[in-house]
């Protein structure tokens, strides 16, 4: 049973560019959350998608946007990249409220 | 607002000794509590959760955690540490009902098990 799949695994972008990260949730999971994990920090919640809509959003600027497709896969888009956007971006999926998240291995984004 | 505190940045323990990684939380109402482990350059792996019921929760790889409502704590424990347990450990909390059920994570505790 495949877990959460994220692509790409690593990415280097220049300041001001735009980036799209992709996520396929675990089979049977319909809810996808995105987290940003800076070096030495815990994951910070960006937003969550359910039924193709953004259900909840963390304290991130509008430069961060997302999408969920009918097959529950999801994208995270970041516009006008800043050096401070360099981090590990984690996708996590879940089925029920009391379940533990299943995390992907993440996308390491480096902005230069 | 919900929050998690992991007071120790690093915990050192000798192989074979018991280990404890501390976590305290703050949440409105009843909590859902979780522990995750992260190995270098990997995502987080779910270890165990407390939803309701028995205060001692058993999870993967021999780990367990004790929920203490009066102390708002959820410490992770293992009777006998292995070198392979060395990793980064995160505690997380969410609300059991109403409001947000998005987990809030702590800053993490680096566990180092010495041979």
Q: Render pLDDT for A77-94 as a digit per residue (tens, 0 to 9).
A: 999 999 999 999 999 999
Where is pLDDT greater, at B24 or B51?
A: B24
User: Closest approach of chain B CAs to the CA of A45, in angstroms?
Assistant: 8
Contact B43 A105 (CB under 8 A): yes
pLDDT surpasses 90 at B1: no
In angstroms, the Cα distances linking A24 to A13, A61, B10, B66 are 22, 24, 33, 33
Closest CB from A41, A58, A104 relative to B43: A104
User: Closest approach of chain A CAs to the CA of B17, in angstroms?
Assistant: 26
Q: Quick one: pLDDT at residue A1?
A: 56
Q: Quick one: pLDDT at residue B59?
A: 94
Contact A102 B106 (CB under 8 A): no
pLDDT band at B40, cuts 50/70/90?
confident
In angstroms, the Cα distances linking A6 to A14, A20, A47, A77, B19 are 21, 11, 16, 14, 33
Q: Which residues of chain B have a CB within 8 Å of the CB of A100?
A: 34, 36, 46, 48-49
Q: Which residues of chain A have a CB within 8 Å of the CB of B42?
A: 105-106
Percent above pLDDT 90 for chain A: 89
pLDDT band at A40, cuts 50/70/90?
confident
Q: Between the ranges A94-98, B47-51, B95-99, where is the mean pLDDT highest? A: B47-51
What is the C-alpha separation between B92 and B102, in angstroms, rounded? 10
User: Closest approach of chain A CAs to the CA of B14, in angstroms?
Assistant: 24
Q: Quick one: pLDDT at residue B102?
A: 86
Residues of A in CB contact (< 8 Å) with B are: 4, 6, 33, 35, 40-45, 48, 56, 58, 90, 92, 97-106, 108
* CA angle A61–A49–A96, rounded 5-degree value: 135
Q: Quick one: pLDDT at residue B11?
A: 98
What is the C-alpha separation between A28 and A10, in angstroms, rounded? 27
Contact A103 B41 (CB under 8 A): no
Assigned token pair, B15: 């192989």
């Amino acid at each position: 049973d495949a877990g959460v799949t994220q692509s790409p695994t690593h990415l280097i972008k220049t300041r001001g560019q735009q980036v799209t990260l992709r996520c396929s949730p675990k089979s049977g999971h319909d809810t996808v959350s995105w987290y940003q994990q800076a070096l030495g920090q815990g994951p910070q919640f960006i937003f969550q998608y359910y039924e193709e809509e953004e259900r909840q959003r963390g304290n991130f600027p509008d430069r961060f946007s997302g999408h969920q497709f009918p097959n529950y896969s999801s994208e995270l888009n970041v516009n006008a990249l800043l050096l401070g956007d360099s981090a590990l971006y984690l996708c996590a999926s879940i089925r029920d409220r009391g379940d533990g998240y299943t995390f992907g291995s993440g996308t390491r984004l480096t902005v230069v | 607002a919900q929050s998690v505190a992991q007071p120790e940045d690093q915990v050192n323990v000798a192989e074979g000794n018991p280990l404890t990684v501390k976590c305290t939380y703050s949440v409105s109402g009843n909590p859902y509590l979780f522990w995750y482990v992260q190995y270098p350059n990997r995502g987080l792996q779910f270890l165990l959760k407390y939803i309701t019921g028995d205060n001692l929760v058993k999870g993967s790889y021999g780990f367990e955690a004790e929920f203490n409502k009066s102390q708002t704590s959820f410490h992770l424990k293992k009777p006998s540490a292995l070198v392979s347990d060395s990793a980064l450990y995160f505690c997380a909390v969410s609300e059991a009902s109403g409001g947000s059920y998005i987990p809030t994570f702590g800053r993490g505790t680096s566990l180092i098990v010495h041979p």
